[in-house]
Structure 1
Amino acid sequence: MTHSLDPAALDQLFLQARTFNKFTAEPVGDDLLRQLYDLYKWGPTSMNTQPGRVVFVRTEEGKQKLKPALMPNNVDKTMAAPVVAIVALDTAFYEHMPTQFPANPAARDLFASNAGLSTDTATRNSSLQGAYLIMAARALGLAAGPMSGFNPTMVNEAFFPDGRWKANFLINLGWGDPSGNRPRGPRLAFEDGVVLA
């Protein structure tokens, strides 16, 4: 890239963007969810591992399956969101490496033979992919409300009973209703968050 985004884009992605707790009743169509994936999938991951997986929960049946795992203060807003993304990780992500990282034919075995490296890589990079999802949603005009207030064991039992995928965090998605926004929290000053070495 050779130029900065214009101020309106920076506002939409960062400066004026908010974590939404409330959404309009307008649905989010499957075509838009596919467009969302086709955008955020391009975010970089270590050795192109791409361990992130997403379940887009859209139906009442799916939401009722998710509901018991939510912390009480997250129930109403999550049940009302048009879509809830379960950002998960694939514990066997390395099975795709022969096609996704052909530059290193030994990459699959590197992760398959090292459980610690595999777990760390999957956790770190699926978190990155979830962040890319949030930014891609904002870029497409959607609002996002990421959450970690849930019981991952219950989500795994309900949605991933074979144990291969594991829940990382949740993101409520839809068309934002700013009436549900809280006052924006402050951010650390440069001097408190950065060391120039």
Structure 2
Amino acid sequence: MTSSIKNIFTNIAVVLPMAMLFFACADNYRRVGEEAGKKIFPQGIANNFVLTYTETVDELGTQDLKSTKVIAVLTSPVSEDFQNLRFPYRTFPNGLVLDVYDKDSQKSVVKADYGIMYSLTNLIDLQGNVVIETHDGKRLEAPQLYYDQNNEWIFTQGEFTYTNPEDGTVMDGEGMDFNRNLSFFKAHKTYGLMMIKEELK
């Protein structure tokens, strides 16, 4: 009986200091000043945002009336403007749709659940159910894509599915990069289904 009481007291003597140690480690410190997390608010919010990109063949002067050509139209339910920060950007928290027109005015469509446009680097980060549909029926689906506006180059290191109805292929893979109109496509790792048409003689 005395040894079991001794064991109980020993266990209490071990457990009590350990419990006090864990409770003493709780972080109740209120951060202020430089170490406090700073809340960032947009300098402006636009509802039913529409941005039209145009270009001209020749540079326009101050009095010129030459016509311009629409090359892209970006629409989004909400756009948040953080251009006042040291590294400025614009977000599209409720998704976006980008209509892109080629030199023959044929439209391709890009859709995403979320987007960030970085002003200094001209990089667009598209996230969540990203879908690109070209005018000729090609379709690319990915959870995330990056678009380099300066080089008109799209890339990702994540998973993707590429469907090409012209040759009946469906390609799945990880990591790829390609130009804006999908005429050059380089996949890093692929696996998928390809239909081969056989000519009968």
> Shorter-chain TM-score: which interval?
under 0.3
Q: Which has the higher helix share?
A: 1
Q: Which has the higher strand share?
A: 2
| Larger RCO, structures 1/2 (Cα 8 Å, 6+ apart) | 1
* TM-score (structure 2 length as normaliser): 0.21
* TM-score (structure 1 length as normaliser): 0.21
